[in-house]
Amino acid sequence: MLRYALILSLLTLGVARAGDYTNYPEPCSFKGHVTYGDIAGKCSTLQLNLPGYHVRWALTLKFTKDTEAVARQLLPDQFADMVRAQSLSDGSDVIVLPLWGDLKVQETDPDYRAMIAAAAPIYETRPNMITVSIVEDSPRTIQILFEEPESFLDLTTRQPSAGWWTLFQQAYYRLATNRNNGFSIPDTSGSARPKQ
């Protein structure tokens, strides 16, 4: 059985899809929060399996008109992040990228939602390389590519590699806060600093 890629893990979203669905985008909807505010819209998930990867998949987000202004502030980027995904009893998944934002994804297919609900409350947290790309300008559509090369995580020891930790530390320094003066000094201005 094929593991569904949205889980970023072996268990989070459920257990399997038929082989015919491996290359088929699964429609969904989403709500979430990013550095610049709240986002929502339609989405799709797609497995992009390749040799040498534990998990590789894409989440494509098409934003609603009322969240498009926030979405336009999301720029192309690539960074290491520790991704947490959890199946919920309502058949949705929560995906947390601590350095980017969080998303609640609801699959469109009722059978798929039932499979996710049956897996609740399974969660997993795994080291990934995240690539954010702009797919379409109007309506604003971005794709988030989640990649976990085998070199990032030893499944036996459950330890992320030293190389991944170095990449994460670099991303953390750049993305860990949007406060103007960093987070070691209290920021009383309440304003967010632009991304570097």
Per-residue pLDDT reduced to its tens digit, 127-155: 999 999 999 998 899 999 999 999 999 99
Helix/strand/coil for 26: strand
Q: In this structure, are residues 146 and 128 in contact, taking their beta carbons and an 8 Å threshold?
A: yes
What is the Cα–Cα distance from 166 to 21, expressed in whole angstroms?
Answer: 35
Domain interval for residue 44: 5-175
Rounded to the nearest 5°, which phi and psi values hold at 16?
A: -160, 160
Instruction: With respect to residue 13, please indicate whether it lies within any of the assigned structural domains.
Output: yes
Instruction: With respect to residue 188, please indicate whether it lies within any of the assigned structural domains.
Output: no
Closest CA to 87 of 32, 124, 41: 124
Instruction: With respect to residue 40, please indicate whether it lies within any of the assigned structural domains.
Output: yes
Instruction: With respect to residue 151, please indicate whether it lies within any of the assigned structural domains.
Output: yes
Instruction: With respect to residue 146, please indicate whether it lies within any of the assigned structural domains.
Output: yes
Q: In this structure, are residues 26 and 107 in contact, taking their beta carbons and an 8 Å threshold?
A: yes
Instruction: With respect to residue 37, please indicate whether it lies within any of the assigned structural domains.
Output: yes
Contacts for 119 with CB less than 8 Å, ≥ 6 apart: 11, 12, 13, 14, 15, 87
What is the Cα–Cα distance from 131 to 144, expressed in whole angstroms?
Answer: 6
| Cis peptide upstream of residue 76 (ω within 30 degrees of 0) | no
In 10 A of CB 74, how many CB atoms? 21
pLDDT band at 177 (very low <50, low <70, confident <90, very high): confident
**What mean pLDDT, rounded, does the chain reach?**
85
The number of helix segments (H) and strand segments (E) in the chain equals: 3, 10
Q: Tell which wins on pLDDT, 7 or 118.
A: 118
- Assess whether pLDDT exceeds 90 at residue 50: yes
Percent of the chain with pLDDT over 90: 74
Total structural domains in the chain?
1
pLDDT band at 91 (very low <50, low <70, confident <90, very high): very high
Instruction: With respect to residue 157, please indicate whether it lies within any of the assigned structural domains.
Output: yes
Per-residue pLDDT reduced to its tens digit, 13-46: 333 333 444 678 999 999 999 999 999 999 999 9
Instruction: With respect to residue 181, please indicate whether it lies within any of the assigned structural domains.
Output: no
